[in-house]
Amino acid sequence: MFGFFNNKVFDQGYLPEFEGHEIYYQQMGNPKGEPVIYFHGGPGGCCKNSHGKYFNLKKQRLIMFDQRGCGRSKADDSINLNDTKRLVKDGKRLLEFLDINEPVIVAGGSWGSTLALLFAEKYPESVKQICLYAVFLARREDMEWMLRGSGQFYPDLLEEIRRQSEGENPYTHYAKLIFTDDLGSIQTAVKYMVHYEYQLGRLDAAFNDVSIDNDVINSARISLYYAANRYFLTDNEILKDIEKIQNIPTLIVHNRLDMCCPLKGAWDLYRSLDNAKIEIIAELGHVGPKLRKAFRQHF
């Protein structure tokens, strides 16, 4: 039963099982408000109540779901039939399940911005506006930043990553480690690949061992599985198909000193669209309170 709008979940549940996956979803905000479908970051993350801080919950009906293998979603095998295009289709299935037929706002940050753009390109007729922050286009050059460009600041760590990888692509190498049963190998993969990305996003100059539990391991497995498969996209797929969303109003909010997803990706997207506006925030790191406040003020 729908309640009054607030910053708490007013509806939650699971989509009917499909392809071995049960997708958890939840809704927040105004049940009669403007529908927004939100894609969380990762890969390997999950939707959180705190994501409501990006939106005007008095005005908007915020719809979120945990992507396949993530968070509260269920599967016997988290990576079976789990790829980018299926995540996009799950978003469409969720809207259909909730009987939402009107065009919606599609939103996301980081990896979620990737999925939001792909959703819009797949279903442009279902999208009235695109709202993104901390943009990640999942291009080869974006992955090369992690493995090469960031070495301008962490040359010692990247040298160690290359040494451990023994000539193999680091994402492939660490994906193999993370899927073993050896806790030492898993710890190494989390520290040198997954935690490194988080460290860049936080601008944390320290580099320490990371405590692991089942949730951390599962999230890391999804993250490395997607990265090792180049996010199941052809190179620069989003910008190559950008004409499909040229006329959809698009908001882009990005921190200038985002070391995880450098501003250039957001700028390249902005320059590729005819109906976009970009707000560059004078803030350090991947996301932060200034970015959240600026993003919310547009609603």
Catalytic residues: 110, 258, 286
Whether 75 contacts 86, CB under 8 Å: no
CA 65 from centroid of its chain's CA atoms: 12
In this structure, what token pair is assigned to residue 152? 């301008």
Provide the residue type at 275 as one letter: N
Per-residue DSSP letters for 259-271?
SSS-HHHHHHHHH
Residue 198: other Cβ atoms inside 10 A: 14
Q: Could you give the CA distance from residue 65 to residue 63 in angstroms, rounded to a whole number?
A: 7
Provide the residue type at 146 as one letter: M
Q: Smallest Cα–Cα separation from 172: which of 215, 237, 226, 209?
A: 226
Q: Could you give the CA distance from residue 178 to residue 73 in angstroms, rounded to a whole number?
A: 20
DSSP letter for 190, please.
Answer: I
Instruction: Kindly give the residue spans of alpha helices, DSSP state H, lying in the chain.
Output: 84-97, 111-122, 140-147, 155-165, 170-178, 183-189, 195-202, 214-228, 237-240, 263-272, 289-296
Which three-class secondary structure state does DSSP give residue 200?
Answer: helix
In this structure, what token pair is assigned to residue 62? 């915020």
